Structure 1
Amino acid sequence: MNKQTSAQMSALLIVGALLTACGSRQPPGPEAAPAAAAVHNTVVMPAIAYGTTAKGIRLSKADDPCDVPTSLQQSVQDQLLTPYEYLLSPPASSVDGAPVLKIEITDILANAGGLYGGPKIVQLRGTLERRGEAPAGFTAQRQMFMYFGLPRSTCSMVGVVTYALGGDIAKWLQKPINGAALGEL
């Protein structure tokens, strides 16, 4: 074997080892429901959708540089309060009959410019569907402004907003009142 072939073989072995160590870049498969998840302590949340603004503009992923659905779902899950302990994504056949929380983003302002970055605003509309009861809905809005002396990225500010909204939703789930206005509405 010559020096060049030996170097190529070494490079291939190193790349192969790195790829094996890093694993697949594919998204993880669905997680099984925890054994303790039951109808009385679980909320099922389908994927958060992009809706239409009050001005009739249809939102899409292109309007959301910070991935608000992922951040918001994690925020709700992190802040769930009794009686709900688990937030599952469909299909959740092990907890058929659990309440279903559907959330739609009705406005995002995350790319506002200006000297201090402008406000970061997220508006939502949600509905909780429960077996044997009328659906209960809410609207929610939170915002954050860049304050002098506190440098933050746009997405970190949107993360603060979605975390606060997740807490608002978790509290509302304790006593879901139809027509509730959550956050700063």
Structure 2
Amino acid sequence: MTQPSFAGRAVTRLFVVLNTIVLLTACGSRQPAAPQAEPAAASARNTVVMPAIAYGTTAKGLQLSKKDDPCDVPASLQQAVQDQLIAPYEYLLPARSPGTDGAPVLKIEITDILANAGGLYGGPKIVQLRGTLERSGEPPAGFTAQRQMFIYFGVPRSTCSMVGVVTYALGGDIANWLQKPTNGATLGEF
């Protein structure tokens, strides 16, 4: 039995590495965090309350639902906002509690999702949102947001990993907007 050449071994190793990358990418790398108890340091000044993210109606009048969302955008978006909160906000909670009474409430509605086009090698992945921040003693401030991602060449990515990149960017947009919430703001890429 003959040994494979150096080039043959290198090709085999490259094949194994590329398959591993494709497998890890297809599985996604961000999982929603498990709900945690309210931190003892949470207060009305350092907390944003964000109830469950709702599915809204598209510009064409179609009502979105969980069946339109194979990637669980609400869970990844909530995690993305929480990961990127900027001082003075440190905590993102699903509901007010006695220690966080008076904290601003951020309501988000998904107004469009395009997550099924293009397969592993591309096609657009788009998420559109509408949000409202309610603060005591101030008028509500609203925003619209949209992000998208295209991949044409290179290492293939799964649809949900691409949508995860989009929602993570939207989470950063929202966290930045919370610093100076102006009514009618447009976040992301339009």
The gaps in structure 1 that reach 5 residues or longer are: 1-27
Q: Which residue of 2 aligns with 1:170?
A: 175
32 and 180 in structure 1: CA distance in 2 versus 1, 3 angstrom threshold = same
* Aligned ranges 1:97-116 → 2 under 5 Å: 97-113=102-118, 116=121
Corresponding residue to 1:60 among 53, 58, 65: 65
The gaps in structure 2 that reach 5 residues or longer are: 1-32
RMSD: 1.7
Corresponding residue to 2:130 among 125, 134, 148: 125
Give the TM-score taking structure 2 as reference length. 0.79
Deviations 1:133-156 (A, max 9, x none): 000000000000013013100000
Please tell me whether residue 149 in structure 1 is matched to residue 170 in structure 2.
no
Deviations 1:29-64 (A, max 9, x none): 963311111100000000000000000000000000
Report the AA paired with residue 120 of structure 1: K
Corresponding residue to 1:73 among 52, 57, 78: 78
Q: Do 2:81 and 2:168's aligned partners in 1 also have CA atoms closer than 8 Å?
A: yes
Please tell me whether residue 135 in structure 1 is matched to residue 118 in structure 2.
no
Q: Do 1:76 and 1:163's aligned partners in 2 also have CA atoms closer than 8 Å?
A: yes
- Output the CA distance in 2 between the equivalents of 1:56 and 1:101: 24
Q: Which residue of 1 aligns with 2:98?
A: 93
Aligned length: 158
Question: Which one has a bigger Cα radius of gyration?
Answer: 1
- Output the CA distance in 2 between the equivalents of 1:30 and 1:140: 25
- Output the CA distance in 1 between the equivalents of 2:67 and 2:80: 22
Percent of paired sites with the same residue: 82
Report the AA paired with residue 59 of structure 1: L
SS at match of 1:159: helix
- Output the CA distance in 2 between the equivalents of 1:61 and 1:143: 19
- Output the CA distance in 1 between the equivalents of 2:35 and 2:173: 27
